[in-house]
Structures are given as structure tokens and as C-alpha cells.
């Protein structure tokens, strides 16, 4: 039920489950589900829903355990209003335990509507409800089978087969002692595709079961007392489950207290697909692996799997997130997208922090040292990603080819798999993903690993699947991204078709569309492609086009023709393209506002003129602000003994004069000292070291991800 994303962020499934933390009002229990800026914020959410424990009837009534299911098309605020209209829910009632699930989704199967919203239920009695992040590829076959068994479907979604299927398994159980996690185990064996699931059932009140395969899922743990353990052992079943067989499970095992978190009291668990969804509640999380099944029963957490494979980690460690609450708040900005645009100077500094040694003029990356011999022997570099990650690889390809003199392939992960691309043991494959959970990229990673290539990951999310499955890699440390379109694309934000065209390709078809009514944005910088871009400009103006031009400051060839221009600071070639991105991001934001799309309101008391002034300062003086940040940070770390030469300087270098195979290989890979010379070096944009002028550039590497 989820559209593909880049990195960012995807929609979130989120649950809260606690035991005797305190006597808590029902209003306080439900409140976290309706803080759109903190938990469930997403631009233009299509639908949302919540499932919570319903009101009890009598203590002896067999149907006293009920589930109240509320859905609403629109945003979370609309769901909040719908919740307060429910007469059956006493939001001021006190309770000693609570468990609820909530979800927002974008339509992939079925149109946006309340009936297609999550959570989905097994029947009108809400015996089982589930929230799902992912896509079930064999849902049609499962749906056809369940229809033959008499089950009726309400929605058009692929998710609804899951609660129907678990009810079918429950109705055909071999004994009444079957556990909730056992039912989930049997269900996921029938599912194909990617999913992260959280189940709730009236037959197992207070119990939560979650599982994942191909979609991210983590568990936040919050406790008033010290946790009994921060290493959760993974338990295994002896064999594949079959209908009618009494299998071994976590409840049949001896005492599970040593395999659990907490003592059953004062513990809360938060299941989420994104750490930023729960950071306001806890910074203690553990990441589930594919096919993990996590069950919370009587306040205790246990994790088990169906089968054990060689190399499986026997525990799931609870980690402490290095994230602060203000990182996921809008602050004084109108929208998260705007905030993330203006945070980019700080993100660049964070990416470089600890990796640039100004005393020795070295770049220090920490993930590749033990694998340098393999990298130096490689015959080919392959960069694989989806969406914006793919385009980031395209932007890096030229510098990698220039420095290494190796062939560099840039591949879309889905197309890479469809072609069964040949991969060899002497290839080095880079997998790029902001979230580290992109499904197609993960499948391509496993494909390359099976073929023996060296696997390198580049991600922004610590503990993600790509981080865990790659041999080595680099964290870019850019901070969390909250906006839906995390890369601020014009096409995705404004819902206007836009197309990027190389200047040399304009005449091969797209030029036929140019007239005075066709908006054209051209990027013409003083670089190696300047003459070619000038030719493209003449072709556009010859057809009455009126282009908006991004150009360097004081460029007479462009400004003399009185075109609409946005002037940018001039820097080295490798950085110029990065500076061009910023006005395009702002353009996409303001176009979306002008077209009436909700960007989450405005900041009270902010005048239009003030915002315009702030935007202009950011556009025209990024280098000065960035230089001050870097210089201050460097001065603190070096005691004021050295200052870097910064943006606007030319980075020059040349390779070593070493002879023989090893010297040529080192020169080809750039694994050497670079001193002043005649050759321009463009540091890789992926690690954003290129804001600095570095007189000596040496690749030194440590063992782990950085």
C-alpha cells in the first residue's frame, strides 16, 4: 500500500503499547496519534486511521474485549476531529494499560477513501486488525482463495487479504492454545512481496505482534526503570511450520524473562517504520531484520524467527539514537521542506565533520580501510540507486572516472535486476540510499553479493538494512528528512511535468516543444560545457523561448541579453552544480504554494518581505556562511593554529610519479598524496569534501561505517 520513495522518508506505521506506566487518561493515551508535527506528519496524506481498545461492556461478557476502528480520508487533523465525535469513547477515562495502532498511507491499490484506509480488519467484529507498509504481490491469488471460503472484502487494497487470512488460520486452528505469534508466523509464509506489519486482535487483548520483510521496522523501548537487558536473543523454531502441527514458540519455551525487556511494568513499546516518528518518546530502539517476528505479551518483548541460517546475528541490540527532538520540528519555518532547504549548510558541515584533518590536509573516511586492497584491484565501479540516489550517482560519475581512470557504471536498481546484469568478483558495487531501506536497491545488493562483488553502502540512516548487509560503507550524516519529497523535486512537489535535458540533447526532439508559452529554466555556468549551453540558449531564443537562466555572477554574455537571471557565486566545477540545486529547490516550494498545495501553513508574524530577504541572503551568500561555520569548527579543533582555504579556491592536484604497477594503480585510484600541479581535481560530491581547497588529499580509511 505504499508508493516508492527515495530516502526518505516513507509513510509511517506507528503503534503505542504500554503496561502500568501510570494511571493514564484515555485522552493522554490517544494524544500521541494526533500530533501531526511530531508523529504522523506527512504532506498531503491521502488517508489515515486508528485502532484502539474499545469500551468494555461487563467483566463477564465474552465480547468485552473490543476494538474501536476509526478511519478518515484526508489529514491527521480530520481523524482527530472524527475521534472526538465518538460517543462510545470516554477520552477522560483512566486506564492502567493501553495499546493502539495508527497509520497514514498513500494510495497504490484502490482510490483514496476511508474504506481503503488502514488499519484493515478481518470482519465486522474487528477480530483482527493490521497496519501494513509495503506491497503484497500475490494478493490476487490469496483474495480469490479466501472468497471461495466465504470471506467478503470491503476494500480494493492488497492489505485486506492479511487480516482475512489470519482469521482463516485462526478459525481453522488445531487447538485453543495457539498463540498470536504462531498465527502471524503461518500468515507471513503465504505472503509474497515487501511488508512491515503490526497486528492487533480482540482474541489476544493487549498483545502486539509485528514482523517485516523488505520494508523497514524498528521498535522503540521506553522504561521508567533500568532495562533488564539491552541484548534481545533471537529464538528459532526447529522447522518450517505446517498446519496441524504443534510447533515450538516463545510461549512454549521455558522462562522467557531473560529474553525480554522489562519486568512487565512501566515499559512502553513503539513500533515504527521511521525513527523520527518516536524520537519524542524514546531514543532507545532496536532494528528488526527481515523475517523477524516481535511479540509483546504481558509487557515482555521477545523476538523469534522460523529458521536459522549461517551468519545470522543471534541477538538484536537496543541502540541509542543520536537524534534530537528539534531536528524533527519545523521551528520558525513554514514547512519541513523549507526548513530542510535552509538546513543544508549545516548538513554539509555535519557530513564533513571529523573527516577533514586540516593539520595534515587529509580526508579521512572510516569504512573502507580493511578492504583497500580489494578496491585497488577492481576493474569496474558500479553505482546503484533509485530515484534521487541514482541522480546523485550520475553527478558523481564524472569525478570518479577522472580520478580513478576506471569505467564507472550508474544503474537504476530495478533495471539492473531486470537485465540480470553480469557482475564479477573484481567489481566494486556502491549502493546509495538515503533511508537504507529501498526495496529495489536491497534486492540488487543481494544479487551482487551472491556474485561475489565487494559491496559498499552509502546511506543516511544508521542501522538500516543496507548498513547491515554491506561489507563496508559511509554514513553521510545529513540529518533526518521529514518532508515527503525529500529531494524537493519540482515534478513531485508541484504536480507539474518537468524534464531535465542535457544541452547537447535539446535539438534531438525536445526543441520542437519550445515556444513563448513553454517555461524553460537553463543552467549556464562558466565550466567546460559553457559554449554548448550558449548554443542551446540560442536555439531556445530563436523559437521565441523566454528562458530563466541560472548563471554565474557578472556573466556579461548572459546578462547583456536582459534575460531573467538568478546569479550564483562562482566556484570550482564540481561544486557549481550543487549551488544550482538550491534555487531550484526554492522554486519548487514557492510554485507549490502558488498552485494552492498545502505546505503546512505559515508562521505567524512573519512578513512576506522578511521571508524574501532571508531567501535572497541564502541564495547569494552560501559560501560566506558556510566558510564561517567550517573555520570556527576548525579553529576549535586545532586551537586556532590552522584555517582552511575555502569556497571559491581552485583545487589542484597531480598524482605521484611512482613507477611500476603499484604506482600506476595508486595514481589511477587516487590513493596518494596530491600536491600543487596542473590538474583540476573534483572531490566526490557524495562525501561533500569539495567545499574545501585541499593541498594534500590522502585517502585514509578505518574499519567501520562512519
pLDDT tens digit sequence for 597-633: 877 543 333 333 333 333 222 223 333 443 444 344 4
Which residue has 480488519 as its cell numbers?
121
**Domains contained in the chain, number:** 3
CATH number of the domain where residue 282 is located: 3.60.20.10
Could you tell me the CA-to-CA distances from 369 to 153, 380, 470 in Å, in that order? 55, 19, 14
Of 620, 642, 659, at which residue does a domain stop? 620
Closest CA to 19 of 130, 91, 128, 95: 95
Residue 334 lies in a domain: no
Domain match, 586 and 630 both: no
| Domain match, 572 and 633 both | no
Are residues 28 and 150 located together in one domain of the fold? yes
- Residue 344 has, within 13 A of its CA and on its CB side, a CA count of 20
Q: Check residues 33 and 470 and name the one with the higher pLDDT.
A: 470
Asked if the structure places residue 510 within a domain, the reply is: yes
State pLDDT tens for residues 54-108: 554 433 343 457 788 778 777 777 777 777 777 666 666 665 566 777 776 666 7
What does the pLDDT look like over 475-502, one tens digit per residue?
888 877 776 555 678 888 888 888 889 9
Domain identity same for 462 and 442: yes
Instruction: Report yes or no on 363 lying in a domain.
Output: yes
Residue 593 and residue 656 in one domain: no
Last residue of one domain, picked from the residues 293, 328, 363:
328
Residues 466 and 324 in one domain: no
Helix axes 388-404, 660-669, angle to 10 degrees: 150
Domain end residue (candidates: 620, 646, 675): 620
Shared domain for 603 and 689, answered yes or no, is: no
Q: Which residue has the higher pLDDT, 706 or 698?
A: 706
pTM reported for the whole predicted model: 0.66
322 and 249 in a common domain: yes
Joined grid coordinates for residue 251: 510461549
The answer to the question of residue 4 being in a domain is no
Instruction: Look up the CATH number of the domain holding residue 597.
Output: 3.40.50.10490
Give 307's contacts (C-beta < 8 A, 6+ positions apart).
236, 237, 239, 240
Domain that holds residue 297: 13-328
Whether 90 and 217 map to the same domain: the answer is: yes
In a domain, 111, yes or no: yes
pLDDT band with cut points at 50, 70 and 90 for residue 155 = confident
Asked if residue 198 and residue 157 are part of one domain, the reply reads yes
Looking at residue 373, its pLDDT comes to 84
Phi-psi region of 597 (alpha: psi -120 to 50; beta: other; left: phi over 0): beta
Q: Is residue 342 part of a domain?
A: no
Determine what percent of the chain is predicted with pLDDT higher than 70: 66
**Mean pLDDT, all residues of the chain:** 71
- pLDDT at residue 247 greater than cutoff 70: no
**CA atoms of 339 and 488, how far apart (whole Å):** 11
- 232 and 83 in a single domain? The answer is yes
Please determine, for residue 209, whether its predicted confidence score (pLDDT) is greater than 50: yes
Same domain, 143 and 247: yes
Question: Is position 423 within any domain?
Answer: yes
281 lies in some domain: yes
Amino acid at each position: 500500500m505504499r508508493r516508492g520513495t527515495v530516502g526518505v522518508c516513507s509513510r509511517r506505521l506507528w503503534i503505542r503499547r504500554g503496561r502500568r506506566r501510570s494511571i493514564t487518561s484515555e485522552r493522554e493515551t490517544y494524544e500521541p496519534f494526533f500530533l501531526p508535527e511530531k508523529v504522523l506528519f506527512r504532506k498531503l496524506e491521502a488517508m489515515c486511521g486508528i485502532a484502539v481498545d474499545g469500551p468494555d461492556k461487563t467483566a463477564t461478557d465474552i465480547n468485552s474485549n473490543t476494538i474501536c476502528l476509526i478511519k478518515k480520508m484526508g489529514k491527521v487533523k480530520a481523524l482527530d476531529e472524527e475521534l472526538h465525535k465518538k460517543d462510545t469513547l470516554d477520552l477522560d477515562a483512566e486506564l492502567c494499560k493501553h495499546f493502539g495502532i495508527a497509520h497514514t498511507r498513500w494510495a497504490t491499490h484502490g482510490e483514496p477513501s476511508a474504506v481503503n484506509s488502514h488499519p484493515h480488519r478481518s470482519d465486522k467484529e474487528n477480530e483482527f486488525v493490521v497496519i501494513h507498509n509495503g506491497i503484497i504481490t500475490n494478493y490476487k491469488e490469496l483474495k480469490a482463495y479466501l472468497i471461495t471460503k466465504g470471506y467478503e472484502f470491503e476494500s480494493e487494497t492488497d492489505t485486506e487479504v492479511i487480516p482475512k487470512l489470519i482469521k482463516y488460520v485462526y478459525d481453522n486452528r488445531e487447538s485453543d492454545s495457539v498463540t498470536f505469534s504462531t498465527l502471524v508466523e503461518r500468515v507471513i509464509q503465504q505472503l509474497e512481496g515487501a511488508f512491515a506489519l503490526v497486528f492487533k486482535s480482540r482474541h489476544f487483548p493487549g498483545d502486539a505482534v509485528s514482523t517485516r520483510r523488505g520494508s523497514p521496522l524498528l521498535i522503540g523501548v521506553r522504561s521508567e526503570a533500568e532495562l533488564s537487558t539491552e541484548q534481545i536473543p533471537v529464538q528459532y523454531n526447529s522447522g518450517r511450520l505446517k498446519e496441524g502441527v504443534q510447533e515450538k514458540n516463545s510461549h512454549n519455551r521455558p522462562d522467557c524473562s531473560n529474553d525480554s525487556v522489562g519486568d512487565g511494568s512501566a515499559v512502553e513499546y513503539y513500533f515504527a517504520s521511521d525513527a523520527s516518528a518516536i524520537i519524542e518518546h524514546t531514543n532507545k530502539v532496536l532494528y528488526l531484520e527481515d523475517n523477524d517476528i516481535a511479540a509483546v505479551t504481558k509487557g515482555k518483548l521477545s523476538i523469534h524467527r522460523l529458521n536459522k541460517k549461517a551468519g545470522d546475528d543471534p541477538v538484536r541490540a537496543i541502540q541509542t539514537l543520536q537524534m534530537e527532538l528539534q531536528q524533527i520540528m519545523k521551528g520558525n519555518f513554514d514547512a519541513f521542506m523549507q526548513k530542510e532547504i535552509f538546513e543544508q549548510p549545516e548538513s554539509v558541515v555535519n557530513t564533513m565533520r571529523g573527516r577533514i584533518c586540516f593539520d595534515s590536509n587529509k580526508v579521512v573516511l572510516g569504512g573502507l580501510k580493511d578492504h583497500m586492497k580489494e578496491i585497488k584491484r577492481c576493474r569496474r565501479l558500479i553505482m546503484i540507486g533509485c530515484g534521487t540516489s541514482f541522480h546523485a550517482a550520475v553527478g558523481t560519475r564524472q569525478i570518479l572516472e577522472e580520478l580513478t581512470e576506471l569505467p564507472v557504471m550508474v544503474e537504476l536498481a530495478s533495471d539492473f535486476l531486470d537485465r540480470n546484469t553480469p557482475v564479477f568478483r573484481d567489481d566494486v558495487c556502491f549502493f546509495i540510499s538515503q533511508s537504507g531501506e529501498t526495496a529495489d536497491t536491497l534486492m540488487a545488493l543481494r544479487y551482487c553479493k551472491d556474485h561475489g562483488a565487494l559491496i559498499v553502502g552509502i546511506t543516511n540512516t544508521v542501522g538500516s538494512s543496507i548498513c547491515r548487509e554491506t561489507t563496508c560503507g559511509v554514513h553521510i550524516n545529513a540529518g533526518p528528512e521529514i518532508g515527503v519529497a525529500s529531494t524537493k523535486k519540482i515534478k513531485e512537489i508541484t504536480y507539474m511535468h518537468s524534464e531535465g535535458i542535457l544541452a547537447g540533447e535539446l535539438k534531438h526532439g525536445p526543441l520542437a516543444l519550445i515556444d513563448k508559452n513553454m517555461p524553460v529554466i537553463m543552467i549556464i555556468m562558466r565550466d567546460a560545457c559553457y559554449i554548448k549551453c550558449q548554443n542551446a540558449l540560442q536555439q531556445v531564443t530563436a523559437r521565441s523561448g523566454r528562458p530563466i537562466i541560472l548563471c554565474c555572477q557578472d556573466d556579461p554574455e548572459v546578462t547583456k541579453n536582459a534575460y531573467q537571471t538568478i546569479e550564483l557565486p562562482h566556484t570550482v566545477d564540481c561544486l557549481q552544480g550543487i549551488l544550482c540545486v538550491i534555487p531550484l529547490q526554492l522554486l519548487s516550494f514557492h510554485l507549490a504554494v502558488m498552485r494552492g498545495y498545502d505546505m503546512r501553513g505559515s508562521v505567524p508574524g512573519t512578513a512576506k518581505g522578511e521571508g524574501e530577504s532571508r531567501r535572497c541572503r541564502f541564495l547569494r551568500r552560501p559560501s560566506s556562511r558556510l566558510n564561517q561555520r567550517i573555520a570556527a569548527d576548525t579553529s576549535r579543533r586545532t586551537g586556532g593554529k590552522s584555517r582552511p582555504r575555502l569556497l571559491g579556491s581552485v583545487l589542484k592536484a597531480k598524482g605521484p610519479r611512482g613507477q611500476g604497477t603499484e604506482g600506476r594503480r595508486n595514481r589511477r585510484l587516487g590513493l596518494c598524496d596530491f600536491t600543487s600541479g596542473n590538474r583540476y581535481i573534483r572531490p566526490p560530491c557524495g562525501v561533500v569534501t569539495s567545499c574545501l581547497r585541499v593541498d594534500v588529499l590522502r585517502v585514509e580509511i578505518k574499519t567501520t561505517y562512519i
